[in-house]
Amino acid sequence: MVRNTTCGAIRLSLTDLRLPQGLRIHAVEVIAPAAEFLEAPLRWSLPQGAAGRAEVLLGDVAEMLEARSPAGLRSFRVSGQGDRIVVEALKLALVHVRVRAEVLLEIHQGRELRLRLVSARALGANLAPFVQASIEAMNPLFRAESLPFPATISSVAVEADRVVGRLEVPPVSYPE
């Protein structure tokens, strides 16, 4: 039987977390500096909150886009370049045309990760007005409430093959 036990730190690690809209989060890790386990039935708390990170592989973003096929696009390739995500896809318009869009990730009120279109081009033509509706349909890309614990998004970084978000978990007790 558990009776008011404390520990110095606790680590929670989740892999392959599938969100309702189809996006797969490759890994989520949360580390708390302290935890308490309270009498049976088991209750636990993170009295000091926790910090964490979530990783989304850009290949998984391409897979989600392929399943959705926004604006009839297909054969998606997604990569990180600097602070932007570059999405390339094919569109059939008499012939196959490669469409290239660049988007930024923006944190909205610490609760959502949204896409903001920077540019969209094909054969030198500006397609931003046509691509914007598809971007809006995908927003928000991620909601913190989709996680199995309360969290806010404090920062996000784009790497060559992934997006890494930093999370903050407030002090919490389960069950409440």
Structural domains counted in the chain: 1
Give the domain range for residue 34. Answer: 5-170
Q: What is the pTM of this model?
A: 0.85
Mean pLDDT of 138-161: 93
Does residue 176 sit within a domain? no
Does residue 14 sit within a domain? yes
Distance CA 26, CA 19 (A): 11
pLDDT digits (tens, 9 = 90+) for 64-110: 999 888 778 899 999 999 899 999 999 877 788 899 999 999 999 99
Does residue 175 sit within a domain? no
Residue 120: Cβ-neighbour burial (10 angstroms; 0-12, 13-18, 19+) = buried
Look at residue 39 and give its three-state secondary structure.
coil
Does residue 134 sit within a domain? yes
Residue 39 CA, chain-centre distance (Å), reads 35
Give the other-Cβ count within 10 Å of 110's Cβ. Answer: 12
So what's the pLDDT on residue 37? 83
